[in-house]
Amino acid sequence: MSAPTADRIQVMASTAPSWLEASEGEEENIVLSTRLRLARNLTGHPFPQNADSGEQQTVYEHLTSSLVRSGLFAEEALFPLLELDQGVGRLLVERHLISGALARKEGPRGVFADRGERFSVMLNEEDHLRLQFVTGGLASTAAWEELSGADEELGEEVRWAWRSDYGYLTACPTNVGTGLRVSVMMHLPALVLLDEADATLRAATQAGMLVRGVYGEGSSVHGNIYQLANQMTLGRSEEDILESVVRVARQVAEHEERARLTLRREAPLHLEDKVHRALGILRTARLLGPRECLNLLSAVRLGVNMYVLSDVEINTLNELMVLTRPSHLDRREGREMDATEQDVLRAEVIRGRLRPRGGTDTNE
């Protein structure tokens, strides 16, 4: 591992991605982020799952040099996963820079990422290349313009697999066409508390959306965080896909807003009790598991959004959602810990960040 890469990984362990900063986009109290992703493959080369290691290496080298030559990234922006330990791969998954599938794969593969982690490119995952742009809140057309501009610049350096009758050719049939996947990460605690989340998300599914957990396909829902994404890309323009996902996300956000008003109106004491209990546990616990931690942070975040709490910052909660994940804690400590050790450190980190103003840890 090069020194710049090692230094950057160490910084990652103690800082959150810039797109998690609050007050960046629309519906930021409910929508944590929007990710736009384009799947692309080189013409004349088999898809990664059908390629031997030599072919994968050829594609990897061609794309890394093309990305640098295009000016989209500097060489030091590359994380070459074949040269990095598995813990780094898990860290990058926790930061939504790569998929779990890419982290688990073998062979030449990697990811380019800018300093703010808004723009990144995965190499040799399911497709040869996947360009990603992440923004806080609901995405605007400006986010699409950023990503499409990068796609056009790279397209001047390489030839994509494309057919006039289908569009861009991809490993998964659901990505054929534009290759665009738009996913919106949403925090829906009030709908869950009122037992209305299933009905609301079922309506989103009927409107053509996929509903997934915080880490996408195959992941579980923790901390009342869901992802909505479009199902198909064939036969639709990129602008239409983006508009349809944003429209459904707004509808889900409206349901969540109404649910929060219902809680405030019909069960204010229960709401306040849940929020303050969660904050009390976070400020005093000595052991916190990852799932319990996300659920408690979810309740506190709801309390801040609904003005039940005034001495906790949203940005702090957003950061803790990332920095208390297992691989971040391991990297912070400088070694792989067992689950109990992680639970101890997780509680310690949270106590330090959520300490009452002017207060101290009860062990101090």
pLDDT at 234 (0 to 100) = 84
- Comma-separated ranges of CATH 3.30.590.10 domains in the chain: 6-262
What b/e readout covers 86-122, taking b as 16+ CB neighbours within 10 angstroms? eebbbbbbbbbbbbeebbebebbbbbbbeeebbbbbb
Let me know how many helices (H) and strands (E) the chain has, helices first. Answer: 13, 10
Distance CA 149, CA 147 (A): 5
- Residues 6 or more apart whose CB falls under 8 angstroms from that of 319 comprise 15, 16, 20, 353
> Does 358 have pLDDT greater than 90?
no
Residue 220's pLDDT band (boundaries 50, 70, 90)? low
**Amino acid (1-letter code) at residue 355:** R
pLDDT for res 362? 47
With a cut of 60, say whether residue 245 has pLDDT above it: yes
User: Which CATH architecture fits 6-262?
Assistant: 2-Layer Sandwich (3.30)
Please state the three-class secondary structure of 87-98 as a single string.
Answer: HHHHHHHHCCCC
Average confidence (pLDDT) over 207-231 = 82
Q: Tell me what pLDDT residue 363 has.
A: 47
What integer is the mean pLDDT of 73-82?
Answer: 95
Render 141-195 in DSSP notation, one character per residue: HHHHHHHHHHHHHHHTTS-B-EETTTEE--SSGGGTBT-EEEEEEEE-HHHHHTT
Query: Which residue type occupies 205?
Result: T
Which residue's entry shows tokens 């303050």? 276
Nearest Cα to 127, choosing from 103, 83, 161? 161
66 token code pair: 């093309």
pLDDT in tens, 308-334: 999 999 999 999 999 999 999 999 999
pLDDT confidence bin for 219, thresholds 50/70/90? low
Work out the mean pLDDT of the chain and round it to a whole number: 92
Res 233 pLDDT > 90: no
Q: How many CB atoms lie within 10 A of CB 9?
A: 18
pLDDT, tens digit, 9 for 90 and up, residues 262-300: 999 999 999 999 999 999 999 999 999 999 999 999 999
- pLDDT at residue 175 in the model: 93
Burial of 257 (0-12, 13-18, 19+ CB in 10 A): middle
pLDDT at 6: 85
pLDDT digits (tens, 9 = 90+) for 6-44: 889 999 999 999 998 865 556 889 999 999 999 999 999
Scan for tokens 């982690």, then name that residue. Answer: 117
Largest pairwise CA distance in the chain = 68
Pairing of strands 225-230, 180-187: antiparallel
Residue 216 binned pLDDT confidence (cut-offs 50, 70, 90): low
